[in-house]
Amino acid sequence: MRAALYMSAGHVVVEDVPDPALSEPTDAVVRVLRAAVCGSDLWSYRGVITRAERSRLGHEFIGIVEEVGSEVRAVRPGDLVVAPFTWSDNTCPACLDGIQSSCERGGTFGAPGADGGQGQAVRVPWADGTLVKVPGGPIGVDESVYAALLSASDVMGTGLHGAVMAGVAEGSTVAVIGDGAVGLCAVLGAKAILGAERIFLMSRHADRAAVGKSFGATDVIAERGEEGVAAVRERTGGLGVRHVIEAVGTPESWAMAVGMARDGGSIGAVGVPHTAPTLPLFQPLVHNLSLNLGIAPVRRYLPDLISRITAGTLDPGPVFDTVLPLENVAQGYAAMASRESIKIMLTTGDL
Q: What is the DSSP letter of 311?
A: H
Shortest Cβ 166–its own copies spacing (Å): 11
Shortest Cβ 100–its own copies spacing (Å): 10
Which residue, 63 or 297, is less far from its own copies as judged by CB?
A: 297
d(Cα 11, Cα 144) in Å, to the nearest integer? 31
Which residue, 104 or 227, is less far from its own copies as judged by CB?
A: 104
Assess whether the previous peptide bond of 138 is cis (omega < 30° from 0): yes
User: Is 101 near its own copies (CB under 8 A)?
Assistant: yes
Which residue, 21 or 281, is less far from its own copies as judged by CB?
A: 281
User: Is 214 near its own copies (CB under 8 A)?
Assistant: no
Which residues in 271-290 contact its own copies (CB under 8 A)? 272, 275-282, 284-290
For residue 296, which amino acid is it? A
Max alpha carbon distance in the chain (Å)? Answer: 61
Shortest Cβ 242–its own copies spacing (Å): 9
For residue 41, which amino acid is it? D
Which residues in 292-351 contact its own copies (CB under 8 A)? 292-295, 297
d(Cα 272, Cα 118) in Å, to the nearest integer? 20
- Contact partners, residue 43, CB within 8 Å, separation at least 6: 49, 274
Beta bridge partners of 30: 65, 122
User: Is 239 near its own copies (CB under 8 A)?
Assistant: yes
Q: Classify burial at 226, counting beta carbons within 10 Å of its beta carbon; exposed 0-12, middle 13-18, buried 19 or more.
A: exposed
d(Cα 125, Cα 107) in Å, to the nearest integer? 9
Do residues 150 and 345 lie in contact, with contact meaning Cβ atoms separated by under 8 Å?
yes
Which residues in 60-79 contact its own copies (CB under 8 A)? none
Which residue, 137 or 249, is less far from its own copies as judged by CB?
A: 249
d(Cα 65, Cα 229) in Å, to the nearest integer? 47
User: Is 171 near its own copies (CB under 8 A)?
Assistant: no
d(Cα 177, Cα 164) in Å, to the nearest integer? 15
Write the interaction track for its own copies spanning residues 5-34; mark x where CB under 8 A is met and - where it is not: ------------------------------
Handedness of CA 244, 247, 251, 252 (dihedral sign): negative
User: Is 97 near its own copies (CB under 8 A)?
Assistant: yes
Shortest Cβ 259–its own copies spacing (Å): 15
User: Is 235 near its own copies (CB under 8 A)?
Assistant: no
Q: Classify burial at 42, counting beta carbons within 10 Å of its beta carbon; exposed 0-12, middle 13-18, buried 19 or more.
A: middle
Which residue, 25 or 264, is less far from its own copies as judged by CB?
A: 264
Binding part of the chain for its own copies, among 135-143, 220-228, 264-272, 334-342 by CB under 8 A, reads 264-272
Count of residues that bind its own copies according to CB under 8 A:
37
> In the set 94, 168, 175, 201, which binds its own copies (CB under 8 A)?
94
Do residues 152 and 181 lie in contact, with contact meaning Cβ atoms separated by under 8 Å?
no
User: Is 165 near its own copies (CB under 8 A)?
Assistant: yes
Which spans of this chain sit near its own copies (rule: CB under 8 A)?
A: 93-94, 97-99, 101-102, 165, 239, 249, 254, 262-264, 269, 272, 275-282, 284-295, 297
